[in-house]
Amino acid sequence: MRWRLVLPAGVSAGLLSYVFSVFLISLYAATGAIAGALGVPRQPDAERFGLLVADYGMPLLFVLLVVPAALVVGRRTGGAGPLHGALAGLAAAATHQAVGLLFGPPDPNELLVYPALGLGGGLLGGARGRAARSGEQALRDANRALAAARSARQVAAALGEHLAGLGVTSLCLWSCTGEGPARLLAEWAPGGSAGGPPLDPSALPERPPAPLRVPVSSLPPGERSPLEGRGVGSVLVVPLSPPGGGFRGLLTVASRRRRAFSRSDVRTYAAAAGMAALVLENLRLVERARRAGVLEERQRLAHEIHDTLAQGFTSIVTNLEAAGGALQRDRAALRRHLEQALAVARESLSEARRLVWALRPEPLEEAPLPEALRRLAARWSSSSGIPARVLVTGEPRALPADPEVTLLRVAQEALANVRKHARAGRVAITLSYIGDRVALDVRDDGVGFDPAAPSPGDDGSGFGLRSMRERVGRAGGTLSVESAPGEGTVLSAEVPAAGAAEPVGGAG
């Protein structure tokens, strides 16, 4: 029990309520005497006014002082705030009654009224203090989680998991950096069951400069009906804008309640939104620096390929052509081998030149990722004799080079491992566009294996699961394998749609 906090707060409230009441009565008596000396018509005497203050004003003043005193106690004691607040209220009532004994015997009614008022005011103030402390702790926890966030999805989760109260159905982050419509960066919902963004900020007449509570009933019918169908009663829209500029966006919080967001809730979300905007801006700058480093590395690699690999292939072609001319009268078999070597060298030279200019796989130069996967599956099925089909879910869209190259390489190596190890009868490849992520699943009905055992292809002759994980990890994604002997294998890779270099949706 925090008596060192409870007793001073209660005693102070009890003393102040009596002192203020006596001061009001004395002030009224003094002004009445002055008015009488000046000939002003006589007003109700000080005794009647004193009785009025004692019966009504003093209890009201007592409650007004007990509630904030208990609130202070509640903020300091946290979960036990109502109990400590009630004790502070009873201490205030005891002090008030003790001071009253100096002016005469106690009124029996007051012996009941003031303890009841102290108990009620103390409970109310203590509960409010506990709620305030809980909100402050939630904000501190959210800020710690935001500081550790490495993507827009983690930023949304940090806000939702620590700040969302009862009735909140979803929390969304939007990018508003351009003149076009707002673009969804990430969404959070309780239990991870996000069902789509609750409110497109583009539907608002203008992007608010301050937090705005939007009742769904105030929206146009076209916007209101889908929200009401999902049970949304109101939406809080909070601007995201770091002090130094840069990233611009909005935070939207949807609730089932029509009047869901109190002033305290709005202040809490606004404070957290400032931290969230700083984190998103930092992610954007880190991504820009990473992209610059990747570009510099690509340029260095292109120069090295041009200076070494491409020149070497050119020399091979020149020498083989000279050898072919010198051997025109020799055996046909030798000529055939030379022609094959020449074809391989020319093909390698073409690939080296393509790498110098683009560093992008040829299939992705000729077609988007879904079509490149279909062509890959068709070629693989033709050579292996194993049927393979490709299914695309979600809305396909153009992606940066990193995620496309990563997923294509993973598909190539997964199919190679199926051919080498799985003894499968069929293969299914699924490419899924899911919000700000893109997932690739390669499933076969082969013999399977124990994922805890050494991975197929990790013997130095192939890509291997470890190498695939490293490649996917460099793109900011994850790779998992589900398999068991005799039950086939499912390999799943998931990467950000904007690549590891764009965790905040390309802001800026």
Spatial neighbors of 365 by CB under 8 A, at least 6 apart, are 354, 358
* Whether residue 211 sits in one domain with residue 233: yes
Backbone angles phi, psi at 458, to 5 degrees: -95, 20
Given the DSSP bridges, would you call strands 489-496 and 478-483 parallel, antiparallel or unpaired?
antiparallel
Please count the other Cβ atoms lying within 10 Å of the Cβ belonging to residue 455: 21
Instruction: Enumerate the H helices of 38-151 as residue ranges.
Output: 46-52, 58-77, 81-100, 108-147
* Whether residue 282 sits in one domain with residue 150: yes
Lowest mean pLDDT among 64-73, 188-197, 209-218, 302-311: 302-311
| Band of pLDDT at residue 401, cut at 50, 70 and 90 | confident
* Whether residue 147 sits in one domain with residue 281: yes
Dist. CA 42–CA 51, nearest whole Å: 18
Range of the domain at 130: 3-135
Q: Taking the C-alpha atoms of 310, 315, 321 and 323 in order, what is their torsion angle to the nearest 10 degrees?
A: -150
| Boundary-marking domain end, from 266, 286, 306 | 286
Tokens for 266? 């709005």
In a domain? residue 504? no
Given the DSSP bridges, would you call strands 437-444 and 427-434 parallel, antiparallel or unpaired?
antiparallel
One-letter amino acid at 242 equals P
In a domain? residue 318? yes
Q: Distance of CA 170 to CAs 163, 175, 405, 448, Å?
A: 12, 17, 33, 39
* Whether residue 52 sits in one domain with residue 186: no
Number of domains in the chain: 4
| Residue-wise pLDDT tens digits, 350-399 | 666 665 555 556 667 678 899 999 999 998 898 888 999 999 999 888 88
Cα 335 to the chain's mean position, in Å? 64
∠98-103-108 over CA atoms, to 5°?
Answer: 65
* Whether residue 61 sits in one domain with residue 17: yes
Asked whether 123 and 86 are in contact (CB, 8 A), the reply is: yes
* Whether residue 171 sits in one domain with residue 277: yes
Give pTM, 2 decimals: 0.49
Dist. CA 96–CA 346, nearest whole Å: 101
- What string of DSSP letters covers 316-358? HHHHHHHHHHHTTTS-HHHHHHHHHHHHHHHHHHHHHHHHHHT
Asked whether 431 and 390 are in contact (CB, 8 A), the reply is: yes
| Band of pLDDT at residue 441, cut at 50, 70 and 90 | very high
Dist. CA 96–CA 58, nearest whole Å: 10
| Boundary-marking domain end, from 100, 135, 170 | 135
CATH number of the CATH domain containing 410? 3.30.565.10
In a domain? residue 505? no
* Whether residue 147 sits in one domain with residue 118: no
| Residue-wise pLDDT tens digits, 287-334 | 888 777 776 777 666 655 654 555 556 656 666 666 666 665 565 656
Closest to 143 in 3D by CA, of 158, 133, 156: 158
One-letter amino acid at 88 equals A
Is 80 exceeded by the pLDDT of residue 136?
Answer: no
* Whether residue 345 sits in one domain with residue 313: yes
In a domain? residue 313? yes
* Whether residue 83 sits in one domain with residue 153: no
* Whether residue 118 sits in one domain with residue 35: yes
Rounded to whole angstroms, the maximal C-alpha distance in the chain is 143
CATH number of the CATH domain containing 225? 3.30.450.40
Spatial neighbors of 200 by CB under 8 A, at least 6 apart, are 181, 182, 223
- Distance in angstroms between the alpha carbons of the first and the last residue of the chain: 54
In a domain? residue 506? no
Is 90 exceeded by the pLDDT of residue 216?
Answer: no
In a domain? residue 60? yes
Asked whether 421 and 456 are in contact (CB, 8 A), the reply is: yes
Is 50 exceeded by the pLDDT of residue 463?
Answer: no
* Whether residue 29 sits in one domain with residue 131: yes
In a domain? residue 13? yes
Question: Tokens 């769904």 label which residue?
Answer: 216
| Boundary-marking domain end, from 270, 286, 302 | 286
Asked whether 85 and 74 are in contact (CB, 8 A), the reply is: yes
In a domain? residue 501? no
| Band of pLDDT at residue 220, cut at 50, 70 and 90 | confident
* Whether residue 258 sits in one domain with residue 180: yes
What residues pair up with 491 in beta bridges, in sequence order? 442, 481
Given the DSSP bridges, would you call strands 388-393 and 427-434 parallel, antiparallel or unpaired?
parallel
Lowest mean pLDDT among 47-61, 213-227, 230-244, 416-430: 47-61
